[in-house]
């Protein structure tokens, strides 16, 4: 390594004589680095004495970045060579840090000019929707969209759903934005995906068959027969004893989602529907506040949702809230209406949005505490298996035979009109 002949003071006082700020670093490099990266020797095939100052060239930018990294790590000059003083290194590091930061910012900037780019996924989906007047659930801004699913359990995943852009890669983001021009480039791969998406949406928008005749449907009384999945035993007991309505006794979590059995495969025809629900709210001031707590100001919030029966059903990721109503707690019937587009495989479901949790709600405990004369111990399973299994539902019926003083919603009917 050459003997250092430029002092820091000379370097500082001479900076005004150079054109590019990087020229100010060259004396430091000549003193400490040219022996390894100069005319006679190019360690790592890198040469500093011919290094350009134009940071718009990637090869220059990479070498200058490497110099800064090595200085920060203290690995240049080599440990066996004479080392510069820390006061000599600091201004070089500061200058390089500032110049490289500015270079990176300039490289990312468009100079205030609009960059020609492709549409991102969100924009392309909206464009297809607006041009072709598509109303499907996968075109809604709040759509759950498609997801990767391992159908065979072998680690091989595929996209599910009807999103026409389900096979597109995710858009690159920068600082939370996904509409950055230099990130949204077009390729042969993306062009093929775009053409395929256009063909799929054209097929969805074009129908040559006769217009289907869709009649209005009203589901009244019971939505199900017997017990259905996702409901509390108290609700099942109500169905056995009360023929004119369905009961919601808890908020929807594990239980509490009510959907018509007749629509378990969806509404059948994609169309805009007007949904009308008749409901009533009962017993806001009830004797079990610790077991079934209610919201003080608005205890009976009725929610209307739709979900794709082919993708997880009413408890799946496609479940989408549509409307939320406050039902007056006066035990009187009230009517609520909402209009929305529903795809053929989608179905509506109703829930008690802010109903009490189901986990502490055990009918047998309530009967034992509040109706002890009607309480019976559970039969032994070995002696009477059928009675053993029927015991919870029978005690739930006890609550109803005693007028069921607990809070609940009654769903009297659901009407779908195209």
Taking only the tens place, the pLDDT of each residue in 195-225 is 999 999 999 889 888 988 899 999 999 998 7
Answer yes or no: is pLDDT of 304 > 80.
yes
Torsion of CA 397, 403, 409, 413, to 10 degrees: 80
Answer yes or no: is pLDDT of 7 > 50.
no
Percentage, residues of the chain above pLDDT 90: 50
Averaged pLDDT, 276-292: 96
Averaged pLDDT, 63-70: 90
Cβ neighbours of residue 327 under 8 Å, at least 6 residues apart? 279, 280, 281, 300, 301, 302, 334, 409
Write down the pLDDT at residue 391: 95
Which is nearest to 126 in space by CA: 137, 140, 136?
Answer: 140
Percentage, residues of the chain above pLDDT 70: 87
Write down the pLDDT at residue 8: 37
In the structure, what pLDDT confidence band is assigned to residue 353 with cuts at 50, 70 and 90? very high
pLDDT, averaged across the chain: 86
In this structure, of 18-32, 212-226, 302-316, 329-343, the range with the lowest mean pLDDT score is 18-32
Distance set, CA 17 to CA 48, 84, 88 (Å): 20, 23, 19
Q: How many helices (H) and strands (E) does the chain have?
A: 9, 11
Question: Is residue 324 a contact partner of residue 302, using CB atoms and an 8 Å limit?
Answer: yes
DSSP-derived secondary structure for 345-367: TEEEEEEETTPPPSTT--HHHHH
Averaged pLDDT, 401-407: 96
Query: Looking at per-residue confidence, does 265 or 20 come out higher?
Result: 265
User: Which helix (H) or strand (E) is 415 found in, with range?
Assistant: strand 408-417
In this structure, of 147-161, 254-268, 307-321, the range with the lowest mean pLDDT score is 147-161
Answer yes or no: is pLDDT of 403 > 90.
yes
Averaged pLDDT, 296-323: 91
Distance set, CA 261 to CA 4, 223, 224, 342 (Å): 88, 6, 6, 17
Q: What domains does the chain contain, in order, with CATH numbers?
A: 21-108 (no CATH), 121-146+158-205 (no CATH), 217-417 (2.60.120)
Write down the pLDDT at residue 335: 98
Per residue in 358-383, pLDDT tens? 888 999 999 999 999 999 999 999 99
DSSP 177: B
Averaged pLDDT, 106-124: 78
Averaged pLDDT, 385-409: 95
Query: Looking at per-residue confidence, does 113 or 293 come out higher?
Result: 293
Question: Is residue 303 a contact partner of residue 336, using CB atoms and an 8 Å limit?
Answer: no
Averaged pLDDT, 95-113: 80
Write down the pLDDT at residue 163: 83
């Amino acid at each position: 390594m050459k003997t250092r002949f430029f002092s820091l003071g000379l370097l500082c006082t001479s900076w005004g004589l150079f054109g590019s700020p990087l020229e100010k670093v060259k004396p430091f490099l000549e003193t400490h680095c040219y022996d390894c990266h100069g005319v006679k020797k190019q360690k790592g095939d890198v040469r500093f004495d011919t290094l350009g100052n134009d940071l718009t060239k990637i090869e220059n930018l990479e070498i200058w970045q490497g110099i800064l990294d090595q200085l920060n790590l203290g690995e240049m000059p080599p440990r066996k060579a004479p080392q510069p003083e820390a006061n000599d290194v600091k201004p070089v590091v500061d200058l390089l840090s500032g110049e490289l930061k500015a270079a990176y910012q300039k490289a990312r900037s468009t100079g205030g000019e609009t960059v020609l780019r492709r549409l991102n996924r969100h924009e392309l989906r909206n464009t297809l929707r607006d041009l072709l007047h598509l109303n499907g659930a996968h075109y809604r801004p709040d759509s759950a969209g498609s997801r990767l699913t391992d159908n065979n359990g072998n680690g091989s995943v595929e996209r599910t759903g009807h999103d026409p852009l389900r096979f597109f890669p995710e858009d690159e983001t920068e600082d939370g934005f996904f509409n950055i021009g230099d990130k949204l480039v077009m390729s042969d791969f993306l062009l093929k995906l775009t053409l395929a998406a256009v063909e799929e949406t054209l097929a969805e928008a074009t129908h040559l068959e006769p217009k289907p005749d869709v009649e209005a449907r009203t589901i009244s009384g019971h939505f199900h027969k017997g017990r259905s999945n996702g409901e509390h035993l108290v609700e099942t007991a109500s169905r056995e004893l009360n023929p004119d309505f369905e009961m919601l006794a808890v908020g929807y979590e594990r239980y509490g989602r009510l959907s018509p059995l007749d629509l378990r495969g969806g509404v059948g025809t994609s169309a805009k529907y007007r949904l009308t629900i008749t409901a009533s709210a009962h017993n806001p001031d009830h004797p079990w506040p610790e077991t079934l707590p209610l919201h003080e100001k608005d205890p009976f919030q009725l929610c209307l949702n739709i979900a794709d029966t082919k993708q997880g059903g009413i408890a799946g990721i496609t479940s989408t809230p549509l409307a939320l109503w406050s039902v007056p707690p006066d035990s009187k019937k009230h009517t609520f209406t909402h209009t929305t587009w529903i795809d053929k495989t989608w179905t509506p479901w109703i829930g008690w949005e802010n109903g009490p949790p189901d986990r502490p709600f055990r009918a047998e405990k309530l009967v034992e505490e509040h109706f002890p004369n009607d309480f019976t111990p559970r039969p032994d399973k070995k002696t009477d298996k059928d009675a053993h299994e029927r015991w919870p539902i029978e005690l739930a019926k006890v609550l109803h035979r005693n007028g069921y003083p607990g809070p609940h919603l009654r769903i009297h009917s659901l009407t779908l009109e195209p």
